[in-house]
Structure 1
Amino acid sequence: MAEEEVKLHGAWGSPFSKRVEFALKLKGIHYHYIEEEVLTKNKSPELLKYNPVHKKIPVLLHKGRPIAESQVILEYIDETWKGYPILPQEPYERATARFWARFIDEKCWPSVWSSFSEGKKEEAIENLKLLEKELEGKKFFGGEKIGFVDIVANFIAYWVPLIEEATGKQLLGEEFPALCRWKDEYVSSAVIKEHLPSRDKLVAHFRARFPSN
């Protein structure tokens, strides 16, 4: 498959952008990557053209047709290219994976961010406890292999520990043994580890983002 058929507009340090990259890598799909300057708000005309509604990364182009929103893109990738399955095949398990992925984006992400930016940890802790319970007895959220929910939860595995380092605030403590085991397994996976953003660059970014901590 020619690289020109698949293009990804993303940002180097975005966990949402990395979701799509990880899925493409797990599937073995060749693609052309276009870095967007989202931190400076200098968005390219192409990005604004391909995602006029939200004007955000990531955007995947397949044969010239744009798909926006990371979870939507993950499902598109899984339905378009066979091989490594990202979503479960069984309908109930598939629906359950979608439920937890939505929970992560709608509840966990905002509460975790607020715990660092505003010092409001209670809601984040409660949400993480629900994920901890869901992970009990499992290597990954879907079982023995990295899947949809793991990819969606990538910010907990890699970004949160770096924010903890940058701010000096701990969120993932010993009360989350399953989550801590999971994050170590996730970031140690060969495909994921090889394509994680620069640790030092991210820590520096978060130190600048949270200057009062």
Structure 2
Amino acid sequence: MTDAFDGPRPSGGVRVQGVPVASYPRRVPEAVRGEVRRITVVGEEVLHRPCREVTTFGTPGLSRLVDDMFATNEAAEGAGLAANQVGEDLRLFVWDITDDWGVRHVGHIANPVLDELPAGQRHLIDEAEGCLSVPGPYRTVPRPGLAVVRGTDKDGAPLVIEGRGYFARCLQHETDHLEGRLYLDRLARRERQSALREMAVSADAVHARRAARAAGLGRG
């Protein structure tokens, strides 16, 4: 998911893996360690089928993948990134996002499952949404303003992450990816075609900007 915030980020605290922390670096340690990978784009098969469960935890390979996903997300100026967006068929995503109230959320989750919300909490919010795998266009997508996702971290410890507003949108967007769905799949046919035409025009410029940013971060 692309980051909707431009300019300086507001200061409202930081939550890492859902837990408040006193301070946290602007560049997450995982992004410093990781390598930038190519981001898959709409039409590639890995984006359009459900991903496999993560079954082995605490491995160097899984830790490297998390590091690389954070580095790739940072270079692309994203809010969140799913494993199939770097070509890995695994139920895993990362996030680094500031919500509507100025709280920064950082973390990763494996095998996420969204809670079914009670009818009274399913208030839909219409907001523009973009995607790193659909470089360029944004379109309005209605989603609930609350999301609760359950899964584990890379070492297998249980996680429950709650998000509201823009962070809730991110959690839902990334979970969709792991089911083989993009935000385009939630659009009417004409709107989807319009977004794809816009992407065809803007994609080269977006990719060039990402490459320049990766090089500037020393990850190119």
The verdict on a shared fold, with TM-score over 0.5 as the criterion, is no
- Comparing both structures, which one devotes a greater share of its residues to helix? 1
- Comparing both structures, which one devotes a greater share of its residues to strand? 2
Report the TM-score, using the length of structure 1 for normalisation: 0.27
Report the TM-score, using the length of structure 2 for normalisation: 0.26
Q: Which has the higher contact order (CA 8 A, sep 6+)?
A: 2
